[in-house]
Amino acid sequence: MIHDAQIDQAAATALFDASGERHERRGRGAIGVVETSCGRCVIRHYRRGGLIARLSRDWFVWTGAEATRPFREFRTTQRLFVAGLPVPAVVAARFVRSGLGYRADLATREIAHARTLAERLNDASAAATIDWGALGTLISRFHAVGLWHADLNAHNILYGGEGHTFLIDFDRARFLAPLATKLQGNLDRLARSLRKLGHGDIVSSEAWTRLHRAYDAAIRAASAR
């Protein structure tokens, strides 16, 4: 297990033993929210997606502690947080060995009163207030430090209760060269997500154009520094 320096090993262990008050599904992870001495935390159990999930829903091949998905995600998210990017604060990550593999969990601070982009799009009044230009600028900030998000979709963009916007779920994310061309593929992934959710009209609308314009302008500004 690894954990934030502000909590001790016992508190970190207790996080994963606590009973969640509610559970929901967001992407492939099973989500629980628990009230602990560390405050309200989101506990995500790592699960597989796609066809391989039929063989094993939550078991991963062991290749060493530092190669485990929770440890990699913990360190990636922590690096982004320290850099001042809008991500949840990581609290702890653990794996439990199981034969030649492991199962795993990650704990992060809860973002209060958060709604995903997908949820806002399904609420007509909330959808009308989405600032697509600001979203493009937000994504550019991550690309400026070289962060490639493995699954940038409408469920992994969160709007907090105070109006702040966050990116979440950095499982399998990695750092490339800042402003690398490949990073722009994240926008294509987001567009596919919108189409899958029945909001494909956005991708061909002025809203998507505003997102791209703001993204491109921010990338140009970052390149000129």
Packing angle, helices 132-144 and 206-224, rounded to 10: 30
The count of structural domains within the chain is 2
Query: 126 and 105 in one domain?
Result: no
Query: 130 and 98 in one domain?
Result: no
Provide the edge-to-edge strand list for the sheet that holds 115-116: 115-116, 157-159, 165-167
pLDDT for position 107: 95
Query: 82 and 13 in one domain?
Result: yes
Q: One of 58, 105, 151, 171 is an active-site residue; which one?
A: 151
Last residue of one domain, picked from the residues 77, 109, 141: 109
Question: How far is the CA of 31 from the CAs of 10, 44, 90, in angstroms?
Answer: 22, 5, 15
- Pair type for strands 90-98 and 101-109: antiparallel
Query: 105 and 6 in one domain?
Result: yes
- Active-site residue 151, yes or no? yes
> In this structure, are residues 202 and 208 in contact, taking their beta carbons and an 8 Å threshold?
yes
Last residue of one domain, picked from the residues 83, 109, 135: 109
Query: 68 and 31 in one domain?
Result: yes
pLDDT for position 27: 47
- Is the pTM higher than 0.85? The answer reads yes
Mind listing the pLDDT tens digit of every residue in the chain (225 residues)? 999 988 888 888 888 887 555 455 454 456 788 887 778 899 999 998 766 656 778 999 999 999 999 999 999 999 999 999 999 999 999 999 999 999 999 999 999 999 999 999 999 999 999 999 999 999 999 999 999 999 999 999 999 988 899 999 999 999 999 988 899 999 999 999 999 999 999 999 999 999 999 999 999 999 887
- Which residue range is the domain that position 169 belongs to? 115-224
Last residue of one domain, picked from the residues 43, 76, 109: 109
Phi-psi region of 5 (alpha: psi -120 to 50; beta: other; left: phi over 0): alpha
